[in-house]
Chains A and B, each alone.
Chain A
Amino acid sequence: GAGVSQTPSNKVTEKGKYVELRCDPISGHTALYWYRQSLGQGPEFLIYFQGTGAADDSGLPNDRFFAVRPEGSVSTLKIQRTERGDSAVYLCASSVVGVGEQFFGPGTRLTVL
């Protein structure tokens, strides 16, 4: 069956630009998570959706980061005025309910020049 997919797989942008990263979770999974992973580090929690609503957005580093999940399925992570420090792999995961095994996508590698 289809797993979690993320697009694009790689994104190169210039400092100050706007980017959108997409996550397609496993069908039927109500919970969706976004993480950011820097080289040599574990994933860093950004935001957690339960259905359409953001149940916990405490990991978003600042107001340049925003995420939506309007229909409770696909989610988009939006980053405004990108900075070089935003360069990382952005991982998405979904799970059947809010607790339990998370299934991860392959990630989007974002490079801000």
Chain B
Amino acid sequence: TQLLEQSPQFLSIQEGENLTVYCNSSSVFSSLQWYRQEPGEGPVLLVTVVTGGEVKKLKRLTFQFGDARKDSSLHITAAQPGDTGLYLCTASYDKVIFGPGTSLSVIP
């Protein structure tokens, strides 16, 4: 059974702090996606990473795909309250699998 693990499960930080969340699997991904979900809404795609070692930046968010394509990280610089939400990673094996998510709360 392919599983995606995410850590930490919960994270509460002050506005302006930096943070990193992780997504890991024992399996190799062909690609991985990060989504953010706000309460009462569906997930919204942030980025897709495809190549091992790839780094993508989206404003204050930096996404990295591990060299072995088994793990990924999301780093947020100078977090803002608007970054609050559930951060989900997802990969496709024989079907689409989502990780359990990291619930981020940024306190003003």
**A42-B88, A42-B101, A43-B88 in contact; A102/B45 too (CB < 8 A)?**
yes
With an 8 Å Cβ cutoff, the count of chain A residues facing the other chain is 23
Please, how many angstroms separate the alpha-carbon atoms of A93 and B99 in the complex? 17
Given A45-B95, A59-B95, A99-B92, A105–B42 Cβ distance below 8 Å? yes
Report yes or no: A101 in contact with B101, Cβ–Cβ below 8 A. Answer: no
Contacts of B45 in A (CB 8 A): 101-103
Once A42-B99, A43-B98, A59-B95 are accepted as A-B contacts, the answer to whether A106 and B41 lie under 8 Å apart by CB is yes
CB distance from B86 to the nearest CB of A (A): 8
Bound Cα distance from A41 to B5, whole angstroms: 11
- Residues on B with beta carbons closer than 8 Å to the beta carbon of A104: 41-44
The reply on A1 being an interface residue by CB < 8 A is no
Instruction: Classify the interface of chain B: helix, strand, loop or mixed.
Output: strand
A4 in contact (CB, < 8 A): yes
Chain A residues positioned under 8 Å from B100 (CB to CB): 40-42
Would you call A58 an interface residue if the criterion is a C-beta within 8 Å of the partner chain's C-beta atoms? yes
Output the residue of B33, B42, B48 with the most chain A CB within 10 A: B42
Taking CB atoms, residues of chain B closer than 8 Å to A99 are 92
- Known contacts A42-B88, A91-B42; is A33 also within 8 Å of B48 by CB? no
Interface residue A48 (Cβ < 8 Å from any Cβ of B): yes
- Residues of chain A having any CB pair with chain B under 8 Å: 4, 33, 35, 40-45, 48, 56, 58-59, 91, 93, 99, 101-107
In the A-B complex, the 3 residue pairs with the smallest Cβ-Cβ separation, listed nearest first, are A104-B42, A42-B98, A43-B98
